[in-house]
Structure 1
């Protein structure tokens, strides 16, 4: 009997402390930055809450993340990014969906039913991704290509004004890292300046990628190079317009020669002109 009482009290405690619909383990919701997150919440009674008020808040903030009241839902804190599951309200589902989750969305959330005096809690964890960020110390990239050398093209990537120090690499169109020279690194104050060179021998698109995982920043610049193949050697350095002009001249000369020969033959085929001599 004592065991059953303890089990009942534990169940009540878990319900009131925020273990929510769809997740009875208390584990946080974990998503990657830019994805969507579903924060679960339910009274657990499967009753219709279409005409009941519930509120979502993030701990440490003043504005409500989402408010649903008598058929109307809206988000003061995240307008346009939060919605509820309208068809599931009749089953007691007060869960919300947050679209395009950002790093600043992480934290502890509460789902509150003010008319019932019940509050549920759930933690949202947002895992950062590497992307272009407008933050201080974000690496700035500049890429150039140099004249063809020994059948290849020299690519140069200059990374400027970076802090912390980034990792820099050249990649091909298949996202494969290509061999590069030893990077040239210099430092001015706390900012890093890096030059990375690589020689490529195939035409295609190449990109220089700089990663700064400490600030979740990744920048890249792409360049297209064309390398003359052996089959191009006959026309290498020979303008197309010159080839066309030569072709036209050849045709004109051939036509002129043909006409001249034809005229000569016609002239030879006429009876010779005889002059009369009188004695």
Structure 2
């Protein structure tokens, strides 16, 4: 008996045709692929971007379930299409109102995703999938920042061992993390120190590096910061005058001479000090011996043999001795004196500055080490540190309220820089602290809370 549909009988040929038709549809769907781009997609912050994804061969996917996801998110759904509509409530909150599909293109198999107002956090790998077809593809999105805020080459110091000058290059405001290169005037790469990288709270990177430039290099030095992923770079250059190299080559002799002179002067001062101490001790011994001889002679001399002058001195001495008046009570300490003696808390508030000394001054102007050499804690509220470089106008920095430097302990003062710090265990960070370099005259004064000023250092940094 032939099968019937709605009262109509179907011939075996028609039944066979229908089966073949459905089989071809199934085979066609089995061969369909979800295809994405082979290269990462690059977008700038605050721009709109399209993540390409489509079905090959093209077919209508309007009635399918379409999903865009990121495995590193929770929830992982970026955009979901089901039953002919967007499911907004299933999306990750950070994408709501910023993701959309091209509805009119779904019938041609285009399931690309549009992201609006791109953020740095949007960077990552996305999965484009049709779950019922068990087909999926991946799209990598790279989000880059706009032009970096700064790129600067500065003179950091000198390298006496190699007879060159040290340059530092620093640039901020990059994303993704860039690389920093040094080149000479002919475009040849220079061997430099490791690149220091710092990532700020805004997820942007700051990079810096130092290089020693010798006389054999050309005087034009270039610093290049680049991001290979997005083919983006910035470059700046600096001309190093010949005078810098001449100063570097001649600087070793004065240092050696200065050290020799300082050593000779120190030895002479020590010998003079030892001589005066020996002479003073010898004088004291001789004086004590003479006084003892005089007392012995006076004791052995009869009373009748005393001279008229001795008798007069005895009379004057007897008149000077006055018995204490026990009828009057001893004077009481004033209330002000009592309060001043009890003002000390957990630390000494003395204005004496001589107990604070300089232990170390970093030659490139990054930090200062101080030490409390006394046996008492020092409360540095209201104290100030005054820095003066090369007789320029001095800059003053005040210690924070209730800051205590304990007895025998050291204090590390460092400037707050964007680059990776040389000393990471600083006790205090001072914004925009004046900087110095090797060869600068540095003067450091400490001012107490009572205005007493003490010079801690006045020397040329070597």
TM-score, length-scaled by structure 2:
0.27
Q: Which has the larger radius of gyration?
A: 2
TM-score, length-scaled by structure 1:
0.40
